[in-house]
Amino acid sequence: MKRIANYIGFLIVITTFFSCNNSSTSETPTEEVKTEMPAEKVETEPIKTNNVVESSNEIGQITIGNQIWSTKNLDVSNFRNGDIIPEAKTDEEWAKFGQEHQPAWCYYDSDPENGKMYGKLYNWYAVNDARGLAPQGWHIPTSLEHKAFIKNLKDLRTKIEKQNPYKYINNPIRLESLIINITEWNNNNEAVNNFNSSNQTGFSALPGGYRNVSINEYGLRTCKFQLIGNEGFFWCFNESSEDYLTAFGFKITCFALESSYASHIKDIGKSVRCIKD
């Protein structure tokens, strides 16, 4: 009996030991393992702003001498920084912007159809605005740059005439013929019909006309669209040194390629061609 009792006691001790050991193991907290997944790379499109305007991304260019010119009249309605240039749709609005020395643009005859070929007409206050009328990488030519343009055309003419002197001895090349695509001009004009144009430079000067402004002795302004299809009027960046009312510009016709100084009041609406920085 004593031996049986000892055996039973031994079993009780063994059972108690394993029971406690299992209990201790089950109560031990397991360490939580956290795995951090790499953040997914999200590619976002660049933010598009309004400072790149209509034709600035597709502006054509040609080289004449040491200058690079745009091949179309400017057709933007925002400054380079994205600010809107006001459109003047009536004579009263155009006169008011000029009187207040504020920038403005318009279509010839206020008709958007004219803008498809000739671009917009701008007053000089838009041309000279510090926010920048020309697209990035371009600027409005100064009168000195326009004089250099004329010299480059003369050099080109001399080069062409020297290649075939007998052809041009009695019929010298007219400067304007090198920059005019005559098919874009008014074929009802006799001078146009009799004009021999090669547009050899690819400049393709356009006869966008202009929005004339006359100011009477009382300061009242009268506005009138004139000469589309027959003449092209273009702004230069700098103003005249004679007075504060006028700025430099140049005119292209089938009769002559001219520089006109101190005769263009800043209120007038003209075309703009850009030159590369």
Rounded CA gap, 67 and 146, in Å? 10
Residue closest to 73 by CA, chosen among 270, 272, 252:
272
pLDDT band (50, 70, 90) for residue 186: confident
Tokens describing residue 79: 């400054």
pLDDT value at residue 88 = 97
pLDDT band (50, 70, 90) for residue 53: very low
pLDDT value at residue 217 = 84
Rounded to two decimals, what is the model's pTM? 0.76
* pLDDT tens digits for range 64-109: 999 999 999 999 999 999 999 999 999 999 999 999 999 999 999 9
pLDDT value at residue 195 = 64
Residue closest to 150 by CA, chosen among 228, 67, 227, 73:
67
Beta-strand (E) ranges in the chain? 61-64, 67-70, 105-106, 121-122, 138-139, 210-215, 221-226, 231-239, 246-253, 257-265, 275-276
Tokens describing residue 219: 């300061």
Candidate from 101-110, 140-149, 162-171 with smallest mean pLDDT: 162-171
pLDDT band (50, 70, 90) for residue 250: confident
Tokens describing residue 68: 């690079």
pLDDT value at residue 105 = 98
